[in-house]
Amino acid sequence: MLASSSSGNCTFLGTERTRILIDAGLSRRETFARLAAIGEDPGKLDAIVVTHEHSDHVAGLVALARPSKTGRRLPVYLSRLTAPAISWESCEPHVETFQAGASFTIGDITIESFTIPHDAVDPVGFTFRAEGVKVGVAMDMGYMPDSIKVHLRSCDFLILESNHDVEMLKVGPYPWSLKQRVMGRKGHLSNDTVCDYIAENLDGTTGTLVLSHLSEQNNHPEIVRLVASQALERRGLKTRLVVAEPRLQTEVFRL
């Protein structure tokens, strides 16, 4: 994960043949710098897949989608309802649209999209399959309906939102209207909701769970780590827990 917070979200996923970004919430310069830090050449990216149009997920999208000096345009995959919600300016991007819930392929990666409950036009989560590995990415959702739990079954590696501590949010600096939005059914997942999912539904085959998109005002990495660890212990799961700290990129995970 190159970044994960309300300040910007961007994740790199690569195989031997294919390299993609999931969301583009960092500037072009910062995205390239963070890719270089893990030894990846931005010029070898094959595509960007987008979850939804909120700025912390697409702030750098237009710059990344502009034609390169050689004229190459990086394909951008996003739902057919999300595409018109992006302000493309004079970019003339290479856009590939899909119906939310559809599957498609980029290189040797098979991607399944699924609808998530969030206050965007047509927000989606994804699972990615390649080389016998399944990766799930589910962020920016107010609750976890059964449909999402089904999609996240059998993930070897799972990135899941753990946005806020409810008590910190209630006494925090946000205006009440924003607090209601965050806690609403189209807002963001609380630590409590994530722990309920871990305790009741997390698949035992998930080797690594990365909790992400932490609020910098209404959460703390150590709180997330503590409560999630306790939930894993109650289940008796050996899943490795990683907390993605705001504004920092994570380690490189090799599956």
CATH of the domain at 28: 3.60.15.10
Q: Are residues 79 and 161 in the same domain?
A: no
Q: What is the distance between the alpha carbons of residues 155 and 37, in angstroms, rounded to a whole number? A: 27
Bridge pairing between strands 157-161 and 133-138: parallel
* Helical segments of the chain, H only: 28-37, 55-58, 61-65, 146-151, 166-171, 176-183, 191-200, 221-235
Residue 68: its pLDDT value, please? 85
- Count how many Cα atoms sit within 13 Å of the Cα of residue 190 in the half-sphere of its side chain: 16
Domain limits for position 86: 1-98
Domain finish residue from 98, 117, 152:
98
The residues pairing with 140 across neighbouring beta strands, listed in sequence order, are none
Residue 10: its pLDDT value, please? 98
* Helical segments of 154-220, H only: 166-171, 176-183, 191-200
Query: pLDDT tens digit string along 106-140?
Result: 999 999 999 999 999 999 999 999 999 999 999 99
Domain finish residue from 64, 80, 98:
98
Residue 6: its pLDDT value, please? 87
Residue 247: its pLDDT value, please? 87
Q: Are residues 161 and 82 in the same domain?
A: no
The residues, ordered by sequence, that sit 6+ positions from 178 with a Cβ below 8 Å of its Cβ are none
Give me the amino acid identity at 255: L
Question: Is 253 inside a domain boundary?
Answer: no
- 10-residue averages of pLDDT along the chain (255 residues): 94 97 97 97 96 97 91 94 92 95 98 98 98 97 97 98 97 96 97 97 96 96 98 96 95 97
- Which one-letter DSSP state was computed for residue 122? S
Query: pTM of the full predicted structure?
Result: 0.96
User: How many residues belong to the chain?
Assistant: 255
Residue 185: its pLDDT value, please? 96
Q: Are residues 91 and 161 in the same domain?
A: no
Which tokens in the block code for residue 155?
A: 């993930």
Place of tokens 């050449």: 41
Q: Are residues 146 and 239 in the same domain?
A: yes
Residue 217: its pLDDT value, please? 94
CB-CB contact of 80 with 50 (8 Å): no
- Count how many Cα atoms sit within 13 Å of the Cα of residue 93 in the half-sphere of its side chain: 21
Question: Is 117 inside a domain boundary?
Answer: no
The residues, ordered by sequence, that sit 6+ positions from 222 with a Cβ below 8 Å of its Cβ are none
Q: Are residues 8 and 83 in the same domain?
A: yes
What is the longest distance spanned by two Cα atoms in the chain?
Answer: 55
Question: Is 54 inside a domain boundary?
Answer: yes
